[in-house]
Amino acid sequence: MVAAAFINRLWELLGHNSADIIWLQREVLPFLPVGLEKVLLARKPVVIDFDDAHHLYYKNSRSRIIRALYQDKTESLMRHAQAVVVGNKTLASFAESAGVNNLYEVPSAVDVSRYKVIRSKGTRFTVGWIGTPVTAQQSLPMVLGPLKKFLSETGSRCVLMGAGDIDLQGVEAKRSSWDELGEAEFFSEITVGLCPLEDTEWNRSKSGYKIIQYMAAGKPSLVSPVGIARDLVTSGQTGFQCRTEQDWYDRLMQLYGGHTLTQKLGVRAQEEALEKYDTTVAAAKLHQIFQGCLED
């Protein structure tokens, strides 16, 4: 299956002679030598898009051979491209340090119109988290203590999408596998969204997509102030930044006891999502970048 996917990707790249520009996410193929990638990309202007610290897969590999052969692949591809698009300031700093001049920052975006906002004072307070089983294992343990205390004291609900079979250590939660169609129900259910993150090199480069989704759905976020999360969430305006377990508990209690505040934060969050993180905003920026590459 992996081999078939590799072949299909090469076929797509080689078969589209009518294209005016190549918009590439990360690299052509994992472990393909950078010199060969440059040959494959030589026919058209190239715009490379990075929304995560994918270069760390090579740099942090346990294999000395992989590190020796590929640790500078990302930087070399970036310098080869006519333009480089990154999703956050951390990746922008990395690209600048690699000698990239044609650099543009375009945050992750969602179609805000797809998110249905439900605000009902009588609805049971519900804490939500969305992600993957891997990110659940990495991040949810940070908040299980304060979350369990909050749920037991208030009788509130917790819903998780995509968390897999992680041991919640006594935290009762409604779980569901990630499903694109099921996202609408998830975001309509929750009152507040969580995004706990450890302060790691990888997490500082994350795109903040789940936070942007919470914002688009008109829900305040409680986040760790790591990477782009510091920029996406302004404490007291679109949610709160939480550094300690006490912070997570206190902010949950504050929102639970303040329907007006929760509603106010949610409204402002959605306004910011529409203004800064809607697909129409990102599309306009990308169109301008593509046009500039074709005119050079």
Q: How many CA atoms lie within 13 A of 4 on its CB side?
A: 1
**String of b and e for 33-59 (b: at least 16 CB within 10 Å)?**
ebeebeebbeebbbbbbbbbbbbbbbe
Lowest-pLDDT range, 15-29, 179-193, 200-214, 243-257?
15-29
Could you read off the pLDDT of 153-176 as tens digits, one per residue?
Answer: 999 999 999 999 999 999 999 999
pTM check: above 0.75? yes
Give the list of residues 6+ apart from residue 60 with CB closer than 8 angstroms, or none. none
**String of b and e for 175-188 (b: at least 16 CB within 10 Å)?**
ebeeeeeebeebbb
Tokens of 278: 């809607």
DSSP sequence for 10-45? HHHHHH-TT-S-EEEES-SSTT--HHHHHHHTTTS-
Please tell me the predicted confidence (pLDDT) of residue 16. 65
Tokens of 63: 């294999």
CATH number of 112-276: 3.40.50.2000
Please tell me the predicted confidence (pLDDT) of residue 100. 94
Would you call 157 helix, strand, or coil by DSSP?
strand
Domain boundaries, the chain: 16-109+279-295, 112-276
Could you read off the pLDDT of 7-66 as tens digits, one per residue?
Answer: 787 777 776 677 889 999 989 888 889 999 898 888 889 999 999 898 898 999 999 999
Could you read off the pLDDT of 136-157 as tens digits, one per residue?
Answer: 999 999 999 999 999 999 999 9
Please tell me the predicted confidence (pLDDT) of residue 40. 85
Q: Cα(102)–Cα(293) distance, rounded to whole angstroms?
A: 10
92, 107, 35: which is closest to 275 by C-alpha?
A: 107
- pLDDT-derived band at 118, boundaries 50, 70, 90: low
174 phi and psi angles, rounded to 5 deg: -80, 125
Radius of gyration of the chain (CA): 21
Read off the amino acid at residue 139.
Answer: S
